[in-house]
Amino acid sequence: METLKIRQEKIIKELDSLDTELKQFDFFFNKAFSVGEGPRIDKYLIEGCVSKAWVRVWSEKNKVYLEVESDSLIFKGLLVVIKEIYEGSSFVEVNNSEFLLMRSVKVVGLLDEHRRESIEKILKMIIDEAKF
Amino acid sequence: MNLEELKDNLPLLKQEITYFDNAATSPTCKVCIDLTSDYYQNDCFNIHRGGYKGSLKSERRIDEGRALVKDFINAESKKEIIFTSGATESLNLIATSLFSSMDFQGKNIVTTELEHHSNFIPWVMGKVEVRVAPCEKDGKLKIKKVLDLIDGNTVLVAITACSNVTGDFIPLKEIVEKAHIKGAFLIVDASQYVAHKKMDVQKIDCDFAVFSGHKIYGPTGIGVLYGKAEIMDSLNPPKFGGDMVLNVTKQEWLNLPSRFEAGTLNLAGIIGLAGAIQWLNKLSLKNLEERERYLKAYLFNKLSEIKGLTLFSRKENSAPIASFSMEDINSNDIAMFLATKEIYVRSGNLCAQPLLSRINKEGLVRISLSFFNTEEEIDFLISSLKQLKERLGKWKH
């Protein structure tokens, strides 16, 4: 299995190759449609998110797993990408990782303050879950 | 002035953008930019008690600005014009003043589900019963619903003259009459209204009215509170500081409007706002209204071509605003897609959660036009929305 670092690098490379905001919009929409519906359960709701988003993070045998859902397809696409990066990663990998994806995101709407805060909350949930 | 000349007067439009977010902020006009810049470069002197030429010059310009605002809304006197940072501060100022000046025991405030949060939260935060007139499921406000809530214990009716979501102009006559018969004040949120129609506070006979400069091609950070002089004279000032006090130890305040304008005002903002009003006066709101009515009809006609699009705005008796939802796609996604084509619109709850709850929507997309928009821009919007629908269909399958 690829490491978290390699998975993230591959996605960043793909995003960087999409040279317009519109191409990235398509990329994230495709990601959203590539998975089924996630849990829309209140306890997984991310508070303060512009569009409603639900994220469940859990661990088994010291590895992290995620389920994601959002009313916004484009935000869901971003959450799916985060899931692809972190899913199945060991606690050690998560703790040694750096989230660099957002530097390559060109869709302006995904970069507003509220959405960035939501992403930070989700990353904190992942890191908190990956504590021994 | 033709369209090209108009656009020359709105420098923001030189960018390759299609701007449909005028209800949030209109592009600043060149007159305003030049005057503001000139103030900072040549006349940045504080007013009152300066005793030097520069201070007196600034003072005169602020006085002229106040007079222009007075005429813009047809207030009776300049002293009824209080400068604030915007409509939000104006509404909060009145709320704070009323709450500190009057006994609200057993009293109520009447407002509506149509209000922007800024004309809703300040009232809810007070220790007073707030009665909220419900809208219909299509977002319309029936005046009777407001009238039914006003009684002898109503202290204030807080209502918009034009919805920032539906664009509906609200007929205020009956509401003002009933409020006054029952001894209540009436405050009008004119933030959307003033950009499209002539505001006449004396004709409306409202007790207070508020609006912001940045929605009428003026600067951000400047707004207006209009208040009938005899009422404002009876209210406690909500802010204290320099330039509003007559005697500090006796806590005696200066006359209107100074007693409500503690501290140094946004002098550049006032000068810029005055410039924007002069520019609008020159263009004539009546002419602009005609142009906007035409564009709105064109937009509504085109939007009706899109299947699965539900409009929450109406063609008649409304500002050039079209708020809508589309099947199977979130409002923020629509706005983000349009943004990839540099089409700027607003999305989400539009600072109107009570209304959106009533119409059972999490969010809407809002297109807010101005006289400078064109048919070509509207065509581009429509083709982009159709393109989004096509893409959505492909992705789903």
Tally A–B CB contacts below 8 A.
43
* Residue B397 pLDDT: 66
Instruction: List the single residue in B with minimal CA-CA distance to A25.
Output: B337
CATH code: domain of residue B86: 3.40.640.10
- Divide the 397 residues of chain B into consecutive groups of 10 and give the mean pLDDT of each group: 85 96 98 98 90 92 98 98 98 97 96 98 96 97 98 98 98 98 98 97 98 98 98 95 88 92 96 98 91 97 96 96 96 95 96 97 96 97 96 78
| Chain B residues within 8 A of A40 when measuring between CB atoms | none
Peptide bond into B219 cis (omega under 30): no
Residues in B touching A22 (Cβ below 8 Å): 340-341
CB A107 within 8 A of CB A77: no
Of the residues B251, B281, B311, which one is the last residue of a structural domain?
B281
Q: Which long-range contacts (CB under 8 A, 24 or more apart) does B297-300 make?
A: B298/B375, B298/B378, B299/B367, B299/B369, B299/B378, B299/B381
DSSP one-letter string for B113-133: TTS-GGGTHHHHTSSSEEEEE
What is the CB-side half-sphere exposure of residue B397 using CA atoms within 13 A? Answer: 5
- Do A74 and B332 make contact, defined as CB atoms within 8 angstroms? yes
Which residues in B lie closer than 8 A to residue A71 (C-beta atoms)? 330, 362
- Choose the mutation target among B326, B333, B347 for the interface with A, i.e. most A CBs under 10 Å: B333
For residue A77, the enclosing domain spans: 4-129
Interface of B with A (CB under 8 A): 329-330, 332-333, 335-337, 339-341, 348, 362-363, 391, 395-396
CA distances from B381 to A126, B11, B29, B138, B350 (A): 40, 22, 24, 24, 20
Q: What is the CATH number of the domain that holds B304?
A: 3.90.1150.10
Per-residue pLDDT of B267-313, as tens digits, reads: 999 999 999 999 999 998 888 999 999 999 999 999 999 999 999 99
Give chain A's domain count: 1
User: A63 CA to chain B: closest CA distance, Å?
Assistant: 32
User: How far apart, in whole angstroms, are the C-alpha atoms of residue B225 and residue A103?
Assistant: 44
User: Catalytic amino acids of B?
Assistant: 351
Asked whether the beta carbons of residue B333 and residue A20 sit closer than 8 angstroms, the reply is no
Nearest to B193 by CA among B173, B210, B176: B210
* Contact criterion met (CB below 8 Å) for A21 and A106: yes
pLDDT tens-digit readout, A28-42: 999 999 999 988 999
Question: Whose CA is closest to A120, among A62, A60, A70, A46?
Answer: A46
Pick from B71, B68, B67, B90: nearest CA to B79: B67
Low-confidence ranges of chain A (pLDDT < 70): none
Same domain, residue pair B16 and B60: no
- Cβ distance of B396 and A26 shorter than 8 Å: no
Domain boundary among B281, B309, B332: B281
B329: containing domain: 3-25+284-396
Q: Give, as one character, the DSSP assignment of residue B170.
A: P
**Does B16 lie in the same domain as B113?**
no
Beta-bridged to residue A65, according to DSSP, are: A58
Instruction: Say whether both B276 and B289 belong to one domain.
Output: no
Chain A residues whose C-beta is within 8 A of a chain B C-beta are 20-22, 25-26, 29-30, 32-33, 50-52, 71-75, 107-110
- ipTM of predicted assembly, 2 dp: 0.90
Nearest CA to A52 among A27, A76, A28, A33?
A76
Instruction: Supply B198's token pair.
Output: 């002539």
**Tokens coding B217:** 């091609």
The residues with which B322 forms a beta bridge, in sequence order, are: B367
CATH number, residue A17: 3.90.1010.10
Helix, coil or strand: residue B264: coil
The helix (run of H) or strand (run of E) holding residue B83 is: strand B81-84
Output the six-digit token pair for B296. 């709105």
Q: Which residue of A has its CA nearest to B349?
A: A50
Same domain membership, residue B301 and residue B275: no
CB–CB of A50 and B335 under 8 A? no
Domain total in chain B: 2
> Tokens standing for B256?
């209107």
- Partner-chain contact A26 B391, CB within 8 Å: yes
The rounded distance, in Å, linking the Cα atoms of B130 and B121 is 10
Residue A61, pLDDT score: 95
Provide, as residue numbers in chain B, all residues whose Cβ is less than 8 Å from the Cβ of A25.
336-337, 340
Same domain (yes/no): B41, B102? yes
